[in-house]
A and B are shown apart, each in its own frame.
Chain A
Amino acid sequence: MALLELDGLTKRYGGITAVNGVGMRVEAGEVRAVIGPNGAGKTSLFHLITGVVVATSGEVRFDGRSLSGMSSYQRCQAGLSRTFQLTSLFPEMSARENCRVAAQARLGRRWQPWGGAGVFREASARGDEALERLGLTEIAGRPAGLLSHGDQRLLEVAMALAQRPRVLLLDEPTQGLSVEETLTAVETLAGLLADGTLTVLLVEHDMEVVFRLAQKITVMHRGTVIADDIPSVVKQDAAVQAAYLGGYA
Chain B
Amino acid sequence: MRGLIIAVIVLAAAPLGLPPFAMTLLTEALILGLLAMSLDLMVGYTRLISFGHAAAYGLGAYTCGDLLLHTTLPLPFAVLAAALASGVIAIGVAWTCTLAKGVSFSMLTLAFAQLLYAVAFKWTAVTGASDGLAGIPRRAGPFGLTVFQTKNGYYYLVLACLLGAYAFCRSLVQSPFGAVLRGIRENEPKTLSLGYNTRLYKIAVVAISFALGGLSGALYSPFAGFANTDLLFWLFSGQVLIMVIVGGKGTLIGPILGAAFFMLLEHVLSLYTESWALFFGLIFIGFVTFAPDGIWGLMRRRARV
Contacts and interface: CB of A to CB of B under 8 A. Distances in A.
Contacts, number: 90
Interface residues of A, number: 38
A111 B201 CA distance: 8
Interface in B222-255: none
DSSP class of B's interface residues: helix, strand, loop or mixed? helix
A114 B187 contact: no
B285 interface: no
Interface in A154-198: 159, 163
Contact of A115 (B175, B186, B196, B201): B175
Contact of B176 (A84, A90, A91, A112): A112
Interface in A88-111: 88-93, 97, 100-102, 104-107, 109-111
Interface string A108-140: 011111111001100100000000000000000
B220 to A, nearest CB: 26
A195 B172 CA distance: 41
Interface string A62-98: 0000000001111011000110100011111100010
A46 to B, nearest CB: 11
Nearest to B195: A76
B195 A105 contact: yes
Given A112-B175, A113-B172, A93 B195 contact: no
Nearest to B198: A73
Contacts of A107: 176
B183 A90 contact: yes
Contact of A111 (B176, B183, B193, B194): B176
A159 B191 CA distance: 11
20 contacts: A73-B193, A73-B194, A74-B195, A76-B193, A81-B194, A84-B193, A88-B187, A88-B190, A90-B187, A93-B182, A101-B179, A101-B191, A102-B194, A110-B180, A110-B196, A113-B178, A113-B204, A115-B171, A115-B175, A116-B176
